[in-house]
């Protein structure tokens, strides 16, 4: 398949009907939460698109993000996505290995310098480069080299976007996110552990169709991360009515009440799970009866227990109160004793109360 | 610091610090008052100090007709915002979970939208008392910086709570974080300002009632 | 409340008694308004059912209320798509499936004929080419 042909021409050559393409555009628009009126615009733009080169780098990761993407629900439709891009390097998916693989990367970089899209999954180790290398090149060196020629960077997964699990306390490798290292390129973060497959492809299509999407404060595309899980949750009415499950097998849990008390991080988690859902739109964690872990938020691994309510303190407050009481007893006793002594001496010396004494603040 | 880190900080070290200052501060203030001691009343008892003290602790919560006529506004607005504060603080389920985490005690809460409505009424009542404080010449003369500070730190958690519940403007972690931080400010200032009346009030009433009870006088 | 204290019962906990979101009636009114607009101005309208939060069961209830009308077409395009005219003429329910017959998109269109049902110019052109090839092949063979 030539890179000079437009996507429309390529699809036609391959006997993909116009109806199939329209269906792809309609489901993609739906996935991207775009109004149906945008469907013709997507169709027109994608049709004229020339396949951009994509280099995919995997650093400190578990391959869960790639698994999520390649097992996304509608194989044929996602094939179309892969047809719209030219995935020139992805060391897990590509057939080539060893120096041939690295050669493919260098070639793709040279040919498309300044124009290719760099996709990254996994975090990058900090101080000690030995924690993770590919073909003898440290993750950091490879990222900096490939990023230099990229038109834009897409950080897939919470590790690439925020450091993720490798960065979790005590962060043994000194892991950092892509945006910690690269400051001079547009970066789109697609966090999640893993991200919803439809969101990965959706962002890629959105990026190819409309360019850099509207990003929030954390560099996430607003189309997918604009609403919190809580705001779009079908169990929200129970939260409003004050009906909560107290344990995983009580009456409330069986009736499908709100999981806030069981530690649901839905109120502070921005993602599309509640609407796009998982596994062919079958369900999402809360629908399956489990609280949201907040996996698409920064530092989700360290955000207190998964099963501790969001409103509660993360440290042991009861113990703090007891220590504080003990400290207060000692300090208070000392203060009280000195005041008492002062009072007694005042009585003994017949000191007079002045207007200033009465006007004291406390 | 990202919004998520901020939320973690207010839920973690900041909350622990605020709890420590509040608890230690309250104990110190109590001891300061108790250890000062009172002169023994050498007169013969004409009634029960205990009964008088106990009765007065509660009886003073019911206004007499005269004070209604004299300062009806203060009474009504005062009642509204105090009851409102009680409902909002103690009957909102996410708050009950905080008390449960600290003490192990739990109790049933109210639906969230009722709490929301109560919060709005409470804020209006607090604004009304502030306006009254500024407009009324006597009140204004009696007011000093501390009075406005205490009003502000009471109002702030209600406002940030409202913003967090309705997710106005900022990200949810930031809004919830700001709400918790505003409560921590309240907790830190609690023992050292007039806010401590929530506890000392009962002692003062008891003392007044006990003196009267001992003398066999109605209070 | 630990993870391993989580019984299997939670898995089946949600579906039957999910609370209604209250979006069903407004949705039916949106359809009613769209029908009026089509009759008055000929304006077509598309509703993406994925964009509206619906509780489990609510979508089924919507489909039940719309019912099935006179037309029921199945397209075979990278996984099937069902185009059904509901009980209300000009209200079409379009369901896109992937090749595993899982739903990947569902729309309600208010129009005479949904665009995707019509033959597409590009496909007509390609089809014409095929027919011409076939005829010329037949001629050469004859």
Q: Tens digits of per-residue pLDDT, A225-275?
A: 988 999 889 999 899 888 999 999 999 999 999 999 999 999 999 998 988
| pLDDT score for A222 | 87
- Domain end (from A276, A302, A328): A302
State the chains in contact with B (3 or more Cβ–Cβ pairs under 8 Å).
A
Which of C21, C98, C100, C103 is best to mutate for the A interface (most A CBs within 10 A)?
A: C98
Say whether pLDDT at A123 is over 90.
Answer: yes
| pLDDT score for A76 | 52
Cβ of A76 within 8 Å of Cβ of C81? The answer is no
For B110, the closest of A242, A328, A362 (CB atoms) is: A242
Which of A26, A83, A273 is best to mutate for the C interface (most C CBs within 10 A)?
A: A26
Average pLDDT over residues B87-98: 95
Report d(CA B95, CA A311) in Å as an integer: 7
Judgement on whether residues A159 and A240 belong to the same structural domain of the protein: no
Judgement on whether residues A254 and A163 belong to the same structural domain of the protein: no
Q: Which two tokens stand for residue A259?
A: 């999981």
Contacts of B8 in chain A (CB under 8 A): 299, 302-304, 314
Judgement on whether residues A198 and A75 belong to the same structural domain of the protein: yes
A39 occurs within a structural domain: no
C56 occurs within a structural domain: yes
| pLDDT score for A38 | 82
Closest-CA residue to A264 (of C52, B161, B107, C10): C10
Average pLDDT, chain B: 91
* Cα diameter, chain B: 67
| pLDDT score for C17 | 47
Judgement on whether residues A174 and A234 belong to the same structural domain of the protein: no
Place of tokens 């899209």: A117
Report d(CA B206, CA B213) in Å as an integer: 10
Rg (Cα) of chain A, in Å, rounded?
Answer: 28
Judgement on whether residues A217 and A240 belong to the same structural domain of the protein: no
Which of A7, A74, A261 is best to mutate for the C interface (most C CBs within 10 A)?
A: A74
For C78, the closest of A73, A77, A262 (CB atoms) is: A77
Say whether pLDDT at A75 is over 70.
Answer: no
How many structural domains compose chain C? 1
Nearest CA distance, C93 vs chain A (angstrom): 14
Cβ of A20 within 8 Å of Cβ of C7? The answer is no
Confidence label for A82 from pLDDT (cuts 50, 70 and 90): low
For B27, the closest of A217, A328, A339 (CB atoms) is: A328
Cβ of A248 within 8 Å of Cβ of C1? The answer is yes
In a 13 Å sphere around the CA of A152, the CA atoms on its Cβ side amount to 15
Cβ of A74 within 8 Å of Cβ of C53? The answer is no
Phi, psi dihedrals of residue B133, rounded to the nearest 5° = -60, -40
DSSP letter (8 states) at residue B109: -
pLDDT > 70 in chain A, percent:
94
Closest-CA residue to A45 (of A66, A28, A70, A63): A28
pLDDT > 90 in chain B, percent:
60
Report d(CA C67, CA C56) in Å as an integer: 18
Confidence label for B129 from pLDDT (cuts 50, 70 and 90): very high
| pLDDT score for A67 | 86
C2 occurs within a structural domain: no
User: Are B7 and B184 in contact, with CB atoms under 8 Å apart?
Assistant: no
How many structural domains compose chain B? 1
For A268, the closest of B22, B102, B172 (CB atoms) is: B172
C11 occurs within a structural domain: no
Average pLDDT over residues B71-95: 93
Cβ of A281 within 8 Å of Cβ of C103? The answer is yes
Judgement on whether residues A75 and A126 belong to the same structural domain of the protein: yes
- Domain end (from A204, A225, A246): A225
A35 occurs within a structural domain: no
Cβ of C21 within 8 Å of Cβ of A281? The answer is no
| pLDDT score for A189 | 96
Judgement on whether residues A213 and A240 belong to the same structural domain of the protein: no
Q: Which two tokens stand for residue A244?
A: 């909560």
The H or E element spanning position A245 is: none
The H or E element spanning position A133 is: strand A133-134
Q: What is the CATH number of the domain that holds B13?
A: 1.20.950.20
Q: What is the CATH number of the domain that holds C110?
A: 3.30.1370.140
User: Are B90 and B102 in contact, with CB atoms under 8 Å apart?
Assistant: no
Structural domain containing residue A98: 50-225
Q: Which two tokens stand for residue A67?
A: 């698994």
- Torsion-angle region of residue A295: left (phi > 0), alpha (psi -120 to 50) or beta? alpha
Which of B7, B26, B28, B111 is best to mutate for the A interface (most A CBs within 10 A)?
A: B28
- What is the distance in angstroms between the CA of the first residue and the CA of the last residue of chain A? 83
How many structural domains compose chain A? 3
The model's pLDDT over C52-63, given as tens digits with 9 standing for 90+, comes to 777 778 888 899
Interface predicted TM-score of the whole assembly (ipTM), two decimals: 0.84
Phi, psi dihedrals of residue A118, rounded to the nearest 5° = -105, 120
Cβ of A235 within 8 Å of Cβ of C19? The answer is yes
For A234, the closest of C53, C79, C107 (CB atoms) is: C53
CB pairs under 8 A between A and B: 157
Residue of chain C whose Cα is closest to the Cα of A36 = C46
State the chains in contact with C (3 or more Cβ–Cβ pairs under 8 Å).
A
pLDDT > 70 in chain B, percent:
100
- Domain end (from A225, A246, A265): A225
Average pLDDT over residues C18-41: 87
Q: Which two tokens stand for residue A233?
A: 């949750």
Structural domain containing residue B182: 3-215
Contacts of B4 in chain A (CB under 8 A): 268, 297-300, 303
């Amino acid at each position: 398949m030539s890179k000079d042909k437009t996507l429309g021409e390529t699809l036609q050559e391959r006997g993909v009907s116009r109806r199939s393409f329209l269906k792809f555009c309609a489901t993609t628009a739906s996935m991207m939460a775009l109004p149906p009126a945008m469907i013709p615009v997507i169709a027109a733009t994608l049709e004229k698109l020339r396949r951009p080169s994509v280099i995919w780098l995997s650093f400190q990761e578990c391959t869960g993000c790639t698994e999520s993407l390649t097992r996304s629900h509608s194989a044929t439709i996602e094939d179309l996505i892969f047809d719209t891009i030219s995935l020139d390097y992805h060391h897990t998916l590509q057939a080539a290995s060893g120096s041939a693989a690295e050669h493919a990367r260098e070639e793709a970089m040279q040919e498309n310098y300044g124009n290719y899209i760099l996709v990254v999954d996994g975090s990058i180790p900090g101080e000690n480069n030995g924690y993770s290398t590919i073909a003898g090149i440290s993750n950091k060196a490879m990222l900096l080299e490939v990023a230099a020629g990229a038109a834009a960077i897409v950080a897939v997964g919470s590790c690439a976007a925020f450091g993720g699990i490798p960065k979790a306390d005590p962060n043994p490798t000194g892991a950092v996110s892509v945006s910690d290292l690269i400051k001079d390129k547009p970066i789109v973060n697609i966090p999640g552990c893993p991200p919803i497959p439809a969101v990965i492809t959706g962002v890629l299509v959105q990026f190819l169709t409309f360019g850099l999407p509207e990003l929030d404060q954390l560099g996430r595309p607003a189309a997918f991360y604009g609403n919190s899980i809580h705001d779009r949750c079908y169990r929200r009415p129970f939260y409003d009515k004050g009906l909560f499950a107290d344990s995983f097998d009580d009456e409330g849990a069986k009736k499908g009440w709100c999981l806030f008390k069981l530690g649901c991080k839905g109120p502070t988690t921005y993602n599309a799970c509640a609407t796009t859902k998982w596994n062919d739109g079958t369900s999402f964690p809360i629908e399956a009866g489990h609280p949201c872990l907040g996996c698409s938020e920064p530092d989700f691994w360290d955000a207190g227990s998964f099963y501790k309510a969001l409103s509660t303190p993360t440290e042991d407050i009861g113990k703090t109160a007891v220590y504080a009481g003990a400290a207060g007893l000692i300090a208070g006793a000392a203060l009280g004793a000195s005041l008492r002594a002062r009072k007694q001496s005042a009585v003994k010396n017949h000191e007079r109360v002045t207007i200033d004494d009465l006007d004291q603040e406390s | 610091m990202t919004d998520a880190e901020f939320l973690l900080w207010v839920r973690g070290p900041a909350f622990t610090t605020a709890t420590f200052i509040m608890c230690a501060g309250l104990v110190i203030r109590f001891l300061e008052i108790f250890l000062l001691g009172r002169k023994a009343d050498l007169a013969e008892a004409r009634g029960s100090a205990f009964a008088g003290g106990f009765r007065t602790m509660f009886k003073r919560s019911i206004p007499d007709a005269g004070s209604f006529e004299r300062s009806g506004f203060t009474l009504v607005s005062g009642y509204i915002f105090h009851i409102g504060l009680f409902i909002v603080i103690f009957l909102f389920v996410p708050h009950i979970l905080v008390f449960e985490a600290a003490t192990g005690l739990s109790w049933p809460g109210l639906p969230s939208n009722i709490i929301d409505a109560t919060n709005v009424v409470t804020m209006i009542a607090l604004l009304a008392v502030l306006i009254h404080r500024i407009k009324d010449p006597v009140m204004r003369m009696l007011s000093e910086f501390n009075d406005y500070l205490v009003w502000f730190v009471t109002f702030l958690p209600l406002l940030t709570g409202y913003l967090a519940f309705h997710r106005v403007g900022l990200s949810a972690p930031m809004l919830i974080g700001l709400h918790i931080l505003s409560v921590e400010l309240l907790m830190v200032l609690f023992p050292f300002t007039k806010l401590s009346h929530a506890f000392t009030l009962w002692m003062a009433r008891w003392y007044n009632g006990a003196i009267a009870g001992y003398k066999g006088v109605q209070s | 409340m630990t993870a391993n204290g989580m019984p299997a019962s939670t898995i089946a906990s949600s579906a039957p008694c999910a609370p209604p979101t209250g979006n069903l009636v407004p949705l039916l009114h949106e359809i009613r308004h769209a029908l009026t607009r089509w009759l008055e101005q000929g304006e077509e309208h598309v509703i993406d059912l994925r964009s509206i939060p619906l509780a489990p069961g609510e979508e089924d209830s919507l489909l039940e209320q719309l019912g099935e009308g006179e037309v029921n077409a199945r397209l075979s395009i990278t996984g099937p798509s069902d185009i059904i005219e509901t009980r209300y003429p000009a209200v079409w329910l379009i369901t896109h499936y992937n090749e595993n017959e899982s739903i990947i998109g569902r729309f309600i269109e208010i129009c005479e004929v949904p665009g995707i049902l019509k033959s597409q110019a590009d496909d007509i052109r390609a089809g014409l080419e095929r027919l011409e090839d076939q005829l010329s092949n037949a001629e050469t063979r004859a």
